[in-house]
């Protein structure tokens, strides 16, 4: 049973525009969330995190929003750049020291 879901397998965005990647989860015990970026044949690269005590966390061009009541989080990238083209995974955990459950990923393509 997939506890973390990314329902959009792919997304194409024009350079300079906003990219919005969505993620839903089912386990209400999840308290800590991460977004990772992954290039082919490489390990995931941490992007940004958020804990359940917040509803927004911002780091440069990346902002993560958390809606606990809807069990939904999203990653906003503004402005999108061609170098952002990669697969983005959201991940959730009950505790940041524990195992994480990953979504299936969204492949983002930023068109120059």
Partner 1 sequence: GAVVSQHPSWVICKSGTSVKIECRSLDFQATTMFWYRQFPKQSLMLMATSNEGSKATYEQGVEKDKFLINHASLTLSTLTVTSAHPEDSSFYICSAPRNYEQYFGPGTRLTVT
82-88, Cβ contacts within 8 angstroms, sequence gap of 24 or more: 82/15, 82/110, 82/111, 82/112, 83/110, 84/19, 84/37, 84/108, 84/110, 85/109, 85/110, 86/37, 86/38, 86/39, 87/37, 87/38, 87/39, 88/6, 88/21, 88/35, 88/36, 88/37, 88/38, 88/47
User: At its nearest, how many Å lie between partner 1 and the CB of residue 55?
Assistant: 18
| Identity of the residue, 13 or 44, whose beta carbon is nearer to partner 1 in the bound complex | 44
| Identity of the residue, 42 or 70, whose beta carbon is nearer to partner 1 in the bound complex | 42
| Identity of the residue, 19 or 106, whose beta carbon is nearer to partner 1 in the bound complex | 106
Q: Which residues in this chain contact partner 1 in the complex, by CB under 8 A? A: 2, 32, 34, 36, 41-46, 49, 89, 91, 93, 96-105
| Identity of the residue, 14 or 51, whose beta carbon is nearer to partner 1 in the bound complex | 51
User: At its nearest, how many Å lie between partner 1 and the CB of residue 13?
Assistant: 20
User: At its nearest, how many Å lie between partner 1 and the CB of residue 98?
Assistant: 7
């Amino acid at each position: 049973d997939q506890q973390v879901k990314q329902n959009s397998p792919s997304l194409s965005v024009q350079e300079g525009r906003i990219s919005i990647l969505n993620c839903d989860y089912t386990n209400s015990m999840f308290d800590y969330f991460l977004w990772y970026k992954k290039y082919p044949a490489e390990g995931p690269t941490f992007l940004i995190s958020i804990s359940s005590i917040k509803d927004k966390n911002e780091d440069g061009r990346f902002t993560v929003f958390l809606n606990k009541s809807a069990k939904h989080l999203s990653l906003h990238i503004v402005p999108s750049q061609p170098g952002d083209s990669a697969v983005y995974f959201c991940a959730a955990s009950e505790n940041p020291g524990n195992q994480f459950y990953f979504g299936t990923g969204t492949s983002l393509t930023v068109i120059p």
